[in-house]
Structure 1
Amino acid sequence: MNLAAECAAEAAQLTVPGLLRRNAESYPGAGALTAGTRTLSWAELREQVAGMARGLQALGLAPGERLLIMMGGRFEHWIADLAAAHVQAISCTAYHTLSPEQIAYVARHSAASVVVLEGAGELERWGQALAGTPSIRHVVVVDDVPLPDDERFLSWERLRERGARLHEQDPAVLEKLTDAIEPHQPVAMMYTSGTTGDPKAVVLSHYNVLYEAVALNRAVPVDKHQPAIAYLPLAHIAERELAIYRALYEATHIYICADPGQVVGTLAAVRPTSFFGVPRVWEKIAGGLRAALASMPEGDRAGALPVIVHQLGLDQITWPVSGSAPLPAPVREFLASAGIDVLEVWGMSETTGCATANTPGDAKPGTVGRPLPGVEVRIAEDGEIFVRGPIVFLGYLQPDGTVRKETDEDGWLATGDIGTLDEDGFLTITDRKKELLITSSGKNVAPTKIEGLLRAHPLVGYALAVGDNRPYLTALITLDEETAPGWAAARGITGPAAGLAAHPAVRAELDALVEEVNGKLARAEQIKRYRVLPSAWSPETGELTPTLKLRRRIIHDRYSPDIAALYD
């Protein structure tokens, strides 16, 4: 039996509730989740999930119905998600940064029956959705806050107590629920980031998410009970796969970092053996290392990087991973010089996360690695990447509750990404099909390559290349709120951070950066003019998705006067 067949045979025997039961029985006292000073063992986690599953069942949450969750990193998030899986409902975490209008869209489109919200802030933001979505029968609120005078609303504690009593009266019900689940049934869904239009609801099966876990284990084996950090939203496919499904398969001990801004401190405390970061996270780590070096006397810098890496808690990592967007080469090279050989992977929600991966001992810098066992990749004539295999999702949820299959008759999924395969089977991503810029002279330009080169500088937070249907390329640039003030202070520049965008020294540095970047680009790719914006971009202000990707359409609309000025 080959490796792909082995993965398929194993995954076909697994379900999410079945793995939770296995861990509770085989490793009852081992840590499953830690948040702050509290830890739940696998046995305790299953007991909590059992009570919530019986509570949701008592509310009438039926197989195939949708349960929406909006809360941060806390035990209750995992408990609600796993409980929904036990009653064969489809759980979905909504990004915490969604606007009330976006929340209303997700609520209506999903036709959710039950919503689990964290507290008063979420209740307020969900007001429009709760009033306008007749499918929502129950709203469960985790925090102890005043609830509306409406029979749909109930507290988490009340539901937990009710479910715990039912479970105590007849614990065999949980085992029957667990045994009734089939691997190819839906387990969860997630909404895409919506970089180019309305978000789509990606539906995944138990087989999808657990085949991914099995295949990753074959590619990068890890011992059971290894510590890992969860800091990204569980609406993000990478965090959902690593912190829920692979954690169940590997019986990983997950340390929840509720505040992503504290991830560096958590790394130092946990010292994980693997760590996934979107490029922005690795850029910030590289910026922190550079800042630490710059603060030292010049004579002390030699050999200091390994000490700093140890202090950051990164010295135990054997598989540092980057995905979701290209990692700028200068950032990757600097981290490698510090002993952190970040390996890039590639995938999307529709491929259950990682479809190709660079792994320790089998990596090629600048690529996103080779396909996982059992996954096939081919390149179409126009350069678009197609994927086939057990990790390809069931389809997109439709407003009527059906799931629309997106693969062709041969099982191939069109990804929308553009790339190349080399003679060794390593994949290189060059751009998004819908994001390619075509200048007025007909030249095709990949903006992410240019933007990545600009973002490698510690002054730059984000950059957007502009040039579609225009005679030449320009760029909008924002300064990095964290590293730009340090850069300025090291050069004796004082004053408010908001004034840095117009400071002559900053402009001179950015002029030099653009000249340097242009020297690495073909003539059609070079930036002729740029504008530094006075404020940063974030998911909260709308220019970025919750996964920190550019919302190009929104940026173009919002900053159209600035863009027009670049072409005056």
Structure 2
Amino acid sequence: MSEFTPKFESLVQVFNASTSQFADRALFGVKHEGEWQWMTYGQWGDQVRRVWTGLQKLGVEAGDRVAVIANNSPEWAVAAYATYGLGAAYVAMYESQLDKDWKHILADCGAKVLLLSNDEIAARIRAFRDQLPELKEIVLFSGTPAKGEHPFADLLQNEPSELIDPGPDAIADFIYTSGTTGAPKGVKLSHRNLAYNVSAIHEVFPMEPDDRSLCFLPWAHSFGQTVELHGLLSMGASLGLAEAVDKIVANLAEVRPTLFVSVPRVFNRIYDGLHARMKEEGGLKKKLFEAAVDTAQQRRRLAAEGKSNPWLDFKFKILDGLVFAKVRERFGGRLKYAFSGGAALSKEVAEFVDDLGIMVYEGYGLSETSPIATANYPGARKIGSVGKPIPGVKIEIDIAATEDPTQGEIIIYGHNVMQGYHNLDEANAEVLVEKDGMRGFRSGDMGRVDEEGFLFITGRVKEQYKLLNGKYVVPTPLEEKIKLSPYISNIMVHGVNREYNVAVVIPDYEALKGWAKEKGIDPDPASLAKNEQVRALMEEEVDRLSADFKGYEKVRKIYVGDEDFTTENGMLTPTLKLKRRVVQERYGDALESLYA
């Protein structure tokens, strides 16, 4: 574990440094009536200081909890930092969550003040507010407050006050995990936890005030919050806030970011979309695209051997200008690098993004580790890995958890490890460990470390299951690989205590429309799900993409589903992780029929 002196010990220190040093620089950009409007660090800092006074008048004190249900916005960040400056903890939730999750979180954390995005969410909260005795005040960012509630605009009318640094041990955030197997758990992160992570970002990947990001990852999740909000804010960079997920490409062209923080699902969509588009257009465009991809792959193979080829370099330069430069222009023309986290990024996709001229850096961590534990960074990068431990972090691999000498459970040690789950002593005893005076976290993730110190994620310990033949299967890597098909939206592999694996496959029905038209097939999803030609296509794609996996890991039979996995139907968490139990309940009979 490499030791280093953190630049910050609290988020209030981050606030004070940035609002002073970068006062006149743009911080947040929001699109309003067709135009991007930018707020400076100084303007934002003034609002934070005014809302600090407003929250104090509402009775917020050190140790209290201030909760929020809203998508990313400057107001979200204003309320967060005002809360930090009062020594209280910020508890963020998603607009897309179910009412029962909101109710559980608000009751569990004992929120005193709740900030809400709009009237619609406020109406849902009012339906059970009387069951939350500790909730004293409700504030609306927009809309019409009910009697006894407050508009956020009123908080901005207060006189500004200086924030109080609560010290490194004060709890700054409650991050509620998505809950793939049960109720969300409240991860308590201190100012030291988060400031340590921000300081480590400075150490391994310093960015400049001229850097700009397009933000769409929710700040209610630790990855988006730490890397984009706290991390970029600490460096004087600017953040354009995406209008919506389906507007990302359009917003990229408008905001013209230099960096992009995302999850593998989005990179997969870029990969699938470009390949599908070239296949559909055909002709010269398709040939040039394939030539550019092939040339890039040849150059990469030579580079791995320490070699180069002047003719190949010249050829790639021409093809890059004809093909990849046009793609980069669609993304604004300034995008230099991208950060991926939240799940494992396919090596194939990472190499493709690299070929586009956008250096992708993959990292790893969890909400419980603030979240970054390892990262690829300039001077230490290996595609396919999730990098090396960041400064101040140590990684251990516990092979006893997997009964496999080649891989084990990842244990993370460092000042980034959470203070514990709120009100869950038994869960804390299961996952928190101590070694050499350093707190550690048993991640539940499986991995291995190579001879150069790079970490590779191989699956989840709890998702690992045994077939009847005694072989262990880790389904996630296979599922992620199969989802690279331009025709497959989602898949869940199943085979616990069975002779072989089966799977529920959800076609990308939008992508299938053109294919169905060529075949003269009804493009309606319900009809496509029952069509034998569609089943055959899905089987071909599953077989093609699982070719490199071991025989017992492969899927022998599939069921084509007509209902995709979404957050709305509860099959995905708000961070798009698969809820296997829910999918099994929905498709249980279909899966069982595959063994008949």
Task: Establish whether TM, by shorter chain, passes 0.5.
Answer: yes
Compute the displacement of 1:492 (Å): 6.4
Question: Could you tell me whether the CA contact under 8 Å between 1:101 and 1:128 is conserved in 2?
Answer: no
- Provide the residue aligned with 1:397 in structure 2: 422
Q: Does 1:27 align with 2:22?
A: yes
Cα drift, residue 346 of structure 1: 0.9
Aligned to 2:11: 16
Map 1:355-366; keep pairs closer than 5 Å: 355-366=373-384
Structure 1 counterpart of 2:551: 523
For residues 300-352 of structure 1, the C-alpha deviation after alignment (integer angstroms, 9 at most, x for no partner) is 34134313322322653333222211223433343344334433211100111
Choose which of 331, 338, 345 in structure 2 pairs with 1:327: 345
Gap runs ≥5 in structure 1: 168-173
Corresponding position of 2:115: 116
Amino acid paired to 2:364: W
Q: Displacement of 1:486 after TM fit?
A: 4.7
SS in 1 for 2:415: coil
Counterpart Cα distance in 1 of 2:595 and 2:357? 44
Gaps of 5+ in 2: 289-318, 401-407
Match among 512, 520, 530 for residue 540 of structure 2: 512
| Alpha-carbon separation, structure 2, partners of 1:393 and 1:250 | 24
Match of residue 154 from structure 1: 150
Closer/same/farther in 2, CA of residues 159 and 486 from structure 1, 3 Å limit: farther
SS of the residue aligned with 1:461?
strand
Aligned to 1:462: 490
Task: Please give the secondary structure, in 2, of the residue aligned with 1:263.
Answer: helix
- Equivalence for 1:280: 265
Compute the displacement of 1:482 (Å): 4.4
Map residues 73-88 of structure 1 onto 2, 5 A cutoff.
73-88=72-87
CA 1:44 to 1:422, structure 2 compared with 1: closer, same or farther past 3 Å? Answer: same
Q: 1:309–1:338: 8 Å Cα contact kept in structure 2?
A: yes
Instruction: Find the aligned partners of 1:491 and 1:251 in 2 and give their Cα distance.
Output: 54
How far did residue 297 of structure 1 move? 4.5
TM-score under structure 2 normalisation? 0.87
AA at the equivalent of 2:96: T
SS at match of 2:434: coil
Say which is worse superposed, 55-64 or 240-249, in terms of deviation: 240-249
Task: Tell me the residue number matched to 1:100.
Answer: 99
How many angstroms apart in 1 are the aligned matches of 2:354 and 2:537? 25
Q: State the 4+ residue runs in structure 1 displaced beyond 4 angstroms.
A: 403-406, 486-494
2:537 pairs with 1:541? no
2:156 match: secondary structure: helix
CA contact (8 A) 1:52 1:80 kept: yes
Work out the CA distance in 1 between the residues paired with 2:518 and 2:542. 21
Counterpart check, 1:299 vs 2:296: no
Matches within 5 A, 1:233-272: 233-272=218-257
Match of 2:460 in 1: 432
AA aligned to 2:14 is: L
- Report 1:53-68 matches (<5 A): 53-68=52-67
- The residue type equivalent to 1:30 in the other structure is R
Q: Which one is further off, 445-454 or 201-210?
A: 201-210
Residues 542/391 of structure 1: CA separation in 2 closer, same or farther (3 Å cut): same
Alpha carbons 1:289, 1:305 under 8 Å: kept:
no
Q: Kindly provide the CA deviation profile for residues 152-199 of structure 1, in whole angstroms up to 9, marking residues without a partner as x.
A: x222223332xx2x43xxxxxx23x33x42123211121011012221
2:43 paired with 1:48 = no
Aligned mates of 1:457, 1:243 — CA distance in 2: 30
Asked if the contact 2:505/2:558 (under 8 Å) is kept, the reply is yes
* Cα deviation digits, residues 131-165 of structure 1 (max 9, x gap): 21111001111212252x4x3x222223332xx2x
2:313 corresponds in structure 1 to none
Deviations 1:180-239, CA, capped at 9 Å, x for gaps: 421232111210110122211111122221221221222122112411121111111111
Note if 1:559 corresponds to 2:564: no
- How much does 1:518 deviate? 4.2
> Contact conserved, 1:114 with 1:136, CA < 8 A, in 2?
yes
- Write out per-residue CA displacement over residues 431-454 of structure 1, whole angstroms, 9 at most, x where no aligned residue: 111111211222110100110121
What is the aligned partner in structure 2 of residue 209 from structure 1? Answer: 194
Cα drift, residue 461 of structure 1: 0.8
1:339 aligns with 2:338: no
For the residue of structure 2 that corresponds to 1:107, the secondary structure is helix
Distance 1:53 1:198 in 2: 32
CA offset digits 1:445-470 (Å, max 9, x no partner):
01001101210101111110101122
Secondary structure of the 1:199 match is coil
TM-score (norm 1): 0.91
Does 1:310 find its partner at 2:305? no
- Which residue is 1:387 aligned to? 412
The letter for the 1-side match of 2:101 is Q
Using the alignment, how far apart are the partners of 2:562 and 2:397 within structure 1? 41
Q: Confirm or deny that 1:188 pairs with 2:173.
A: yes
Q: Aligned letter for 1:250? A: M
Amino acid at match of 1:322: S
Aligned residues: CA RMSD: 2.3
Q: Is the 8 A contact 2:512 2:523 kept in 1?
A: no
Counterpart among 424, 431, 444 of residue 416 in structure 1? 444
The one-letter code of the counterpart of 1:141 is: L
AA partner of residue 20 (structure 2): E
Secondary structure of 1:131 counterpart: helix
Equivalent residues of 1:481, 1:536 under 8 A apart: no
Deviation at 1:84, TM superposition (A): 0.8
Q: Give secondary structure in 2 for the equivalent of 1:342.
A: strand
CA contact (8 A) 1:201 1:397 kept: yes
Offset, 1:65: 0.9
C-alpha distance after superposition, 1:365-393 (max 9, x if no partner): 22111111111001012311111112112
User: How far apart are the structure 2 equivalents of 1:50 and 1:98?
Assistant: 30
| Number of residues of Structure 1 aligned to a counterpart in Structure 2 | 548
- The letter for the 1-side match of 2:413 is R
- Confirm or deny: 8 A CA contact 1:384 1:433 kept in the other structure: yes
